[in-house]
Amino acid sequence: MSNITLPDLPYAKDALEPHISAETLEFHHDKHHAAYVNKLNELLPGSGLEGKKLDEIITATAKDDSKQGMFNQAAQVWNHTFYWNCMTPDNGGGEPTGDLKAKIEEDFGSYDKFREEFKNAATSQFGSGWAWLVADSVGGKLSIMKTANADTPLAHGKVAVLTCDVWEHAYYIDYRNRRPDYVDTFLDKLVNWDYANAKYKGQDAGVEE
CATH numbers and ranges of domains, the chain: 22-85 (1.10.287.990), 98-200 (3.55.40.20)
Instruction: List all residues 6 or more positions away from 50 whose beta carbon is below 8 Å from its beta carbon.
Output: 3, 44
Mean pLDDT to the nearest integer, 85-101: 96
Q: How far apart, in whole angstroms, are the C-alpha atoms of residue 71 and residue 107? A: 31
CA distances from 170 to 25, 28, 55, 56 (A): 8, 6, 23, 26
DSSP for residue 32: I
Q: List, for residues 43-72, the tens digit of each pLDDT value.
A: 999 999 999 999 999 999 999 999 999 999
CA distances from 209 to 51, 53, 136, 199 (A): 14, 8, 19, 11
Q: List, for residues 4-41, the tens digit of each pLDDT value.
A: 999 999 999 999 999 999 999 999 999 999 999 999 99
Nearest Cα neighbor of 83 from 22, 4, 152, 18 is 152
DSSP for residue 142: E
Query: Which pLDDT score, from 0 to 100, does residue 2 have?
Result: 56
Query: Which pLDDT score, from 0 to 100, does residue 204 have?
Result: 77
Beta pairing partners, 165? 130
- Determine if the peptide bond prior to 45 is cis (ω within 30°): no
Query: Which pLDDT score, from 0 to 100, does residue 207 have?
Result: 65
- Percentage helix, strand, coil for the chain under 3-state DSSP, each rounded to 5: 50, 10, 40
Residues at the binding site for Mn(2+) are: 28, 80, 165, 169
Residues at the binding site are: 28, 80, 165, 169
